[in-house]
Amino acid sequence: MPIMYIIAGCNGAGKTTGSKNILSALTHCNTYVNADDIAAELSPENPAAAAFEAGRIMLSQLEELLQSNADFAFETTLSTRSFAGMIRKAKSKGYAIRLFFLWLVSPEMAKQRVAARVKRGGHSIPEDVIERRYYRGVANFIHIYRNISDSWVLMDNRTAEPVQIAEGYLDKATDIRDAALWSLFVEHSTMVEEPAEQYGEGFTDRLIAAMMKSNYQMLIEAAAINESLVVGDGPPGFRHAPAIELLQEFERSEKFKSLFGINA
């Protein structure tokens, strides 16, 4: 059965950073479509100006991939409903839909992440666009996309050690792992929580390990240039912290030692 992988989340949530490790650790998928990459090719000096055309090309590429009956993945904020029809079409052709949603607890944190990315030479996004996409993405996940995906995982990706919030399978009961964060997520969507089921044993551990490796790589790169990062600080908060301190803290953690097979 061919599989469509969707790596979703607000701007700054770590979709692009995590995609390579997530896909290599959990799938055999080598085809990844990202509208930002397309926009950068169309307009290297001003990718934002090519965003609309990049989106059109991305949808066209995804339609072509559907016809190939091969596994593929794409990145999105889920801030529009434009992928719903394509997903339903994919399911009618026998595709299984796997959705990973990487979340930050507030649009303010997303704005800070994007601002930090711009300082590293990344592309800028207007703050009002970040906020609009943030809330629409959460609402569309709850109202639409989780309900047409065969399986989904929701992760809090504020720190080097991601936290699983919830997971589900189509038409099953949602497995909520962090009630406080799930409640906040649902509050942002303005929708009452619905039921769904359980991922396979060991799946989430592999997902978290892949994301931790991506976050570790980001910490190393940021520490090398004495940068500060925006990270979680308590259930609803975030803060700026020197990357070198975060790196050292992470490398001392038991999860880091377990991840890389280091004996205490």
Gap between the Cα atoms of 151 and 101, Å rounded: 11
Pairing type for strands 96-103 and 3-9 reads parallel
Establish if 95 belongs to a structural domain: yes
Whether residue 209 lies inside any domain: the answer is no
**Residue 220 belongs to some domain of the structure:** no
79 located within any domain: yes
The pLDDT tens digits along the chain (264 residues) read: 999 999 999 999 999 888 778 887 777 788 889 888 888 888 887 777 787 888 889 989 999 999 999 999 999 999 989 899 999 999 999 999 999 999 999 999 999 999 998 898 887 889 999 999 999 999 999 999 999 999 999 999 999 999 999 999 987 889 999 999 999 999 999 733 343 445 555 777 888 888 888 899 899 999 999 999 998 877 678 899 999 999 999 999 988 888 877 765
What are the distances in angstroms from CA 216 to CA 120, 248, 249? 17, 10, 11
Where residue 94 falls (left for φ over 0; alpha for ψ -120 to 50; beta otherwise) is left
Residue 244 belongs to a domain:
no
Whether 233 maps to a domain, the answer reads no
- Locate tokens 């080097």: which residue? 160
Query: In Å, how far are 24, 125, 131 from 112, measured between CA atoms?
Result: 28, 11, 11
Give the residue numbers spanning the domain of 52: 3-201
CATH code of the domain containing 76: 3.40.50.300
Count of structural domains within the chain: 1
pTM confidence score: 0.74
Domain presence at residue 97: yes
